[in-house]
Amino acid sequence: MNIVIEGVDILTSDSAVNSAADYIKNADIGIKDGRILFIEPAGTGPSDFKPDRRISGRHRLAIPGMVNAHTHCAMTLMRNAADDLPLDKWLFERIFPIEDRLMDDDVYWGTLLGISEMLKSGTTAMADMYLHMEAVVKAFSEAGMRVNISKSPLEFHSGGKVLDAFDEFRDYYKKWNGRENGKIKVYLEVHSTYLWDYESLIRASDLAKELNTGIHIHLLETAKERKDSFEQYGKSPVEICVETGIFDVPVIGAHLVHVSKEDMDILHKYKVSAAHNPSSNLKLGSGIAPIPAMLDAGVNIALGTDGAASNNNLNMFEEMHLAALLHKGLGQNPELVNARQAFAMATVNGSNAIGFGSDTGVIKPGMKADIILIDTDKPHLNPLNDPYSAVVYSAQGADVDTVILDGNILMEKRELKTIDEEKVKYEAAAASMRLISG
């Protein structure tokens, strides 16, 4: 389908150009076969371009779709079910028992609910890590979402039972990686260095190398994790990842709250992307990741919501806002994490972190058309003035009016096109009630 967005203001997120040229006013964006064909001053696009759909850009700001670099999409089912607890109590005593009862259907509806919420707040790609991955991939395929799915080659069950699922992972990878016009990417999930033993970490990195894929791992979320690692290995989890070959492949490192200067240099050296989850880290009382120092060390910083059970929503505008405020307050320095940096974290950095960087994260000709339109005809977005400030400090997820993903319209005038929102809310609520009541 050919689409033209007419007379729209664009924040391209293209770090290759300077900040002024990154903001294009009153332009037409032409989209053909899922990719951006042209960006030209309004009314001056190629005369032989015949759009099937024209979308008005009046009172709209086009930005790249947000990228949620760390989430557990189906945990929407556990939203508001276990709060105000520390991570180990929350995870082991409350969340794992519920997850033991999960069935494929529950995960399918929970994933669709998470996708609905993310599309409605402008997220077009995510790195999802969860269980029942056939149900997960079905939901993503049907919704038309872009996703990096990470599946674990070890299955952890109640009572400490661990099943070897390396062959199953290999089959899943071969079946799904690159499917849906490249929108589905499959990484290995390594939950963490505390849940996994050393030998299995080596096996995981060998498998990732064999398949030429990446790894999504939780790293240094809590002070306890750091302390325990030093007690067990005399090293930080980051150093364990180097030793076991985990960092020899592309890695999404979620959290990275308790990192030392040495850890940061390692992350930079091995090009590990950090997924900063400010809401989840605050809510679980885990701490605050030293983002300004990691930026100085040259680490690619992306943003994530984590699961809805530890956030308790999946709204990337909120994470971006928080990422821009938190470090200023903590460091008593308003120059830390400026609006442009926070915007890059939510868009282009996220895209690079989850392996879609060559195709998405930036609005420019040749890239995939993953574009969201923010309705700026709102009191809190007037006057707009600096567009970075407007998006990071004033805009809300609910201001997103239209979502285009891979050149397909997935939401228009806030109505989802590939998901029956009412049915999804109903089914997910029913699943949630059954799971939580046990």
Binding site for Zn ion (CB under 5 A): 306
Q: What is the DSSP string of 271-319?
A: TPEEEE-HHHHHHTT-----HHHHHHTT--EEE----GGGTS---HHHH
What does DSSP assign to residue 65? P
- Closer residue to Zn ion in complex, CB, 217/390: 217
For residues 270 and 162, what is the distance between their CA atoms, to the nearest angstrom?
Answer: 30
Residue 44 to residue 56: CA distance in whole angstroms: 15
Nearer to Zn ion, 24 or 95 (CB): 95
Shortest spacing between CB 372 and Zn ion, in angstroms: 24
CB of 17 to Zn ion, least distance (A): 34
Comparing CB distances to Zn ion, the nearer of 27 and 309 is: 309
> How far apart are CB 218 and Zn ion at their closest, in Å?
6
Nearest-approach distance from CB 310 to Zn ion, in angstroms:
7
Half-sphere exposure for 218 (CA within 13 Å, toward CB):
23
Q: Please, which residue, 257 or 344, has the CB nearer to Zn ion?
A: 257
Q: Which is nearer to Zn ion, 91 or 211 (CB)?
A: 91
CA distance 428 to 81: 14
CA distance linking residue 52 with residue 42, whole number of Å: 18
Q: In the complex, what is the shortest distance from the CB of residue 252 to Zn ion, in angstroms, rounded to a whole number?
A: 11
How many residues are given for the chain? 438
- Minimal CB distance to Zn ion: which residue? 306
Rounded least distance, CB 57 to Zn ion, Å: 36
Nearer to Zn ion, 281 or 432 (CB): 281
Q: CA-to-CA distance for 352 and 431, rounded, in angstroms?
A: 34
According to DSSP, residue 368 is labeled B
